[in-house]
């Protein structure tokens, strides 16, 4: 006796419809969730000498929004010239219990520029990193650390010892990379990208020191897949 093929076909159509509806519902629910993003740092974070929407927090938020994520405007705790000490004060003055889905951290260039002690940097960076994880609802997988760009390749370093600057930047980055690994957060090397500015001036803003929107876009393109992964976990 042969099975009722029409019945089987109808059953499978119904099953596929239910499965598709379920998947769509999960996707819609994920994309409708309001995503909160906190960016911590200094001038590299705020996007000195570029428009606010060209900075990395806003470019990243815009890309996520275009791809269906319900992004709130990023919260930025950063100022030009800030060291780790300044950033710690800025965090302490931020009175909020809001938990964030994504937290990025880029700090240290002014520690190097001002000749600050590297072990002091380590100590303060660890505190900031722990606070970043707390901001991310105690989820280390929702925190991303960027390495310090190398300003030694820019025109701002004319007349200075460029090699020494680059070597010091590398030492500070060894510290933030080591501490990031210990904390189990994501780490993105943007230093190598920043060094391409030595041969491509379009990667720098009009001041010849800070990243242009073009360089920030490269950072965003590298960061975006990581953010998608951490939002999916």
Residue 21: predicted pLDDT? 41
Residue 172, CA distances (Å) to 27, 33, 97, 126, 198 in order: 41, 37, 31, 13, 20
Using the Cα atoms of residue 81, residue 194, residue 146 and residue 33 in order, give the sign of their dihedral: positive
Residue 62: predicted pLDDT? 98
Which residues make beta-bridge pairs with 187? 145
Helix (H, G, I), strand (E, B) or coil at 146: strand
Class in CATH terms, 35-232? alpha beta
User: Would you give the DSSP letter of residue 137?
Assistant: T
Helix (H, G, I), strand (E, B) or coil at 43: helix
- For 212, the token pair is 């242009």
Closest CA to 103 of 80, 87, 119, 82: 87
pLDDT digits (tens, 9 = 90+) for 75-86: 999 999 999 999
Residue 8: predicted pLDDT? 40
Cβ atoms 205, 50 nearer than 8 A: yes
Helix (H, G, I), strand (E, B) or coil at 228: helix
The predicted model scores a pTM of 0.87
pLDDT digits (tens, 9 = 90+) for 19-38: 444 444 434 445 578 999 99
Tell me the pLDDT of the chain (233 aa) as tens digits: 444 545 444 444 444 444 444 444 434 445 578 999 999 999 999 999 999 999 999 999 999 999 999 999 999 999 999 999 999 999 999 988 899 999 999 999 999 999 999 999 999 999 999 999 999 999 999 999 999 999 999 999 999 999 999 999 999 999 999 999 999 999 999 999 999 999 999 999 999 999 999 999 999 999 999 999 999 98
User: Would you give the DSSP letter of residue 94?
Assistant: -
Helix (H, G, I), strand (E, B) or coil at 121: helix
For residue 204, how many other CB atoms are within 10 A of its CB? Answer: 23
Residue 154: predicted pLDDT? 97
Cα separation, 143 vs 86, whole angstroms: 20
Residue 27: predicted pLDDT? 44
Residue 5: predicted pLDDT? 46
Residue 31: predicted pLDDT? 55
């Amino acid at each position: 006796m042969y099975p009722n093929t029409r019945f089987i076909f109808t059953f499978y159509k119904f099953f596929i419809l239910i499965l598709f509806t379920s998947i769509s519902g999960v996707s819609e629910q994920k994309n409708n969730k309001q995503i909160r993003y906190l960016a911590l740092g200094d001038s590299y974070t705020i996007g000195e000498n570029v428009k606010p929407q060209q900075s990395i927090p806003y470019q990243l938020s815009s890309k996520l929004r275009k791809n269906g994520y319900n992004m709130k405007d990023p919260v930025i705790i950063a100022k030009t010239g800030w060291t780790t000490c300044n950033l710690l004060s800025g965090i302490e003055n931020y009175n909020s219990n809001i938990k964030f889905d994504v937290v990025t951290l880029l700090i240290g260039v002014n520690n190097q520029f001002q000749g600050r002690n590297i072990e002091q940097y380590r100590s303060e960076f660890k505190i900031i990193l722990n606070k970043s994880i707390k901001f991310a609802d105690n989820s280390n997988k929702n925190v991303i650390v960027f390495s310090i760009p190398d300003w030694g390749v820019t025109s701002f370093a004319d007349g200075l010892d460029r090699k020494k600057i680059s070597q010091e930047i590398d030492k500070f980055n060894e510290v933030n990379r080591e501490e990031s690994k210990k904390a189990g957060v994501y780490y993105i090397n943007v230093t190598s990208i920043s060094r391409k500015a030595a041969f491509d001036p379009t990667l720098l803003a009009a001041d010849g020191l800070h990243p242009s929107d073009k360089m920030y876009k490269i950072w965003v393109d590298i960061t975006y897949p990581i953010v998608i992964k951490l939002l999916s976990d």
